[in-house]
Structure 1
Amino acid sequence: MLSHSSYMLTAVAALLVTCHALCKCPGIPELPSVPGLPGKDGLKGQPHLPDSLDAELHNVLVNLKHRLSRLEGVLALNGKIREVGDKILASNGKEVDFASALESCEEAGGTLATPMNEEENNAILGIVKQYNRYAYLGIKEGENSGQFKYINGAPLNYTKWHQYEPNGKGTEKCVEMYTDGSWNDKKCDLYCLTICEF
């Protein structure tokens, strides 16, 4: 499984190659036309980079990885993000309804925080406690009353329901985390803290 940093580096590399092929980027020298990559000539043949360009991109990626690592460290130090396993968690501090929270996370390239185990639940809880606000989780009730799933449709493999929860019986389709880390089913139009995972 690729780490978050690997995904980011892959995305940055793709962006750099596309940027160089499609446009002139300010401050970045123009790369030579490479067969197989998008550019003036379109896609022709198989993607292949000359050895000199491959080495140059490798150096750029190493530098970007170093800078991303430093930025992640600064954000973690300032309490702006929390890392747990391969996930990075962050909040914008806003309280909105479920749909708006999910949209904010997706626009930022992530999704709503979704605890898959106790360690992830505790990391999300750290942000909940930091803001002292209940937060939506990336979990919703399915078609069958009382059957909750991750928002990607997968069945739950971990739960932390508060005592006597879920109890909405089909009327409370979203899930929030309390400030003790336990979960409650809740109506989706009420306001909760937005916490995203990347």
Structure 2
Amino acid sequence: MLSHSSCMLIAVAALLVTCHALCKCPGIPGLPDIPELPGREGLKGQPRLPGLIGLCRNLMGPPGRDGLPWVQGLPYSLDTKLHDVLVNLKHRLSRLEGVLALDGKIREVGGKILASNGKEVDFASALQSCEEAGGTLATPTNEEENKAVLGIVKQYNRYAYLGIIEGETSGQFNYINGTPLNYTKWHQHEPNGKGTEKCVEMYTDGSWNDKKCNLYRLTICEF
């Protein structure tokens, strides 16, 4: 399964390949010296290098660093080649996300993308795997997001840990970053652990229950 972060890495790699093919980045090891595209007139009649050269400039670092020159590029809005490359990448990523969504591998809700690897592990392991992938544990902040997480829970028919933990005060639960909850979906008579159940799981009906953190639950990440 490709995570959202993996998709972004593919996009960056494709963009850099394009830069290598279309521009010359003098002095940078590993980048080929390919003839430059025709220049354009800049201030005082000086030639202005294409905007993709400006993209390579970002790889070169700030002016004066290691003796490399600062190369002036065209603004993104005026560089049609760079614009076309980014539009194409956006289109391809959109299609890839569509395929993954159709296959049930990911779900989109609001500005989030939810995904599961189908593995059942303890809370700490689930959180670690999500963070290593560039995200965090799924954390519903409204009814729409809760329903999206529930969709994955139902798909696997397994309870899942949420990115919510109990704070220092018994019965007071917060997001992982310590922020108080702005939305809850507690099952009837929950939470009732009274300080002994620090984590939160989602039932297959979408309601929440406080639970111990060392049990095996489905991993669902958000990006």
Give the TM-score of the pair, scaled to structure 1: 0.81
Q: Give, in whole Å, the separation in 1 of the partners of 2:140 and 2:174.
A: 12
Identity level (%):
74
Equivalent position of 1:96 in the other structure: 121
Shift in Å, 1:153: 1.5
Counterpart AA for 1:184: N
1:6-35 alpha-carbon deviations (Å, 9 max, x no partner): xx7799459946985766479xx9964768
Secondary structure, counterpart of 1:88 in structure 2: strand
Equivalent position of 1:125 in the other structure: 150
Change (3 A) 1:48 1:162: farther
Secondary structure, counterpart of 1:38 in structure 2: helix
Equivalent position of 2:46 in the other structure: none
Q: Does structure 2 retain, via aligned residues, the 8 Å contact 1:114–1:138? A: yes
Change (3 A) 1:183 1:78: same
Provide the alpha-carbon RMSD of the alignment.
3.3
Q: Does structure 2 retain, via aligned residues, the 8 Å contact 1:150–1:156? A: yes
Q: Does structure 2 retain, via aligned residues, the 8 Å contact 1:105–1:196? A: yes
Q: Give, in whole Å, the separation in 2 of the partners of 1:23 and 1:62.
A: 29
Counterpart AA for 2:59: P
Q: Give, in whole Å, the separation in 2 of the partners of 1:23 and 1:158.
A: 51
Q: Give, in whole Å, the separation in 1 of the partners of 2:221 and 2:139.
A: 8
Equivalent position of 1:183 in the other structure: 208
Could you tell me which runs of 5 or more consecutive residues in structure 1 were left unpaired when the two chains were aligned. none
Q: Does structure 1 retain, via aligned residues, the 8 Å contact 2:161–2:220? A: yes
Counterpart AA for 1:44: P
Equivalent position of 1:85 in the other structure: 110
Counterpart AA for 2:173: F
Change (3 A) 1:50 1:24: farther
Instruction: Answer 1 or 2: higher relative contact order, Cα 8 Å, separation at least 6.
Output: 1
Secondary structure, counterpart of 1:149 in structure 2: strand
Equivalent position of 2:58 in the other structure: 37
Change (3 A) 1:55 1:122: same
Q: Give, in whole Å, the separation in 2 of the partners of 1:153 and 1:95.
A: 25
Shift in Å, 1:57: 2.3
Q: How many pairs align?
A: 188
Secondary structure, counterpart of 1:37 in structure 2: helix
Shift in Å, 1:60: 1.5
Counterpart AA for 1:49: G
Change (3 A) 1:47 1:144: farther
Counterpart AA for 2:214: D
Shift in Å, 1:131: 0.3
Q: Give, in whole Å, the separation in 2 of the partners of 1:25 and 1:133.
A: 49
Summarize the alignment of residues 7-46 of structure 1 with structure 2, pairs less than 5 Å apart: 12=11, 16=15, 24=30, 32=53, 37-39=58-60, 42-44=61-63
Answering whether residue 74 of structure 2 is matched by residue 50 of structure 1, we say yes
Shift in Å, 1:113: 0.5
Change (3 A) 1:78 1:55: same
Answering whether residue 88 of structure 2 is matched by residue 63 of structure 1, we say yes
Counterpart AA for 1:115: P
Shift in Å, 1:134: 0.2
Could you tell me which runs of 5 or more consecutive residues in structure 2 were left unpaired when the two chains were aligned. 37-51, 65-69
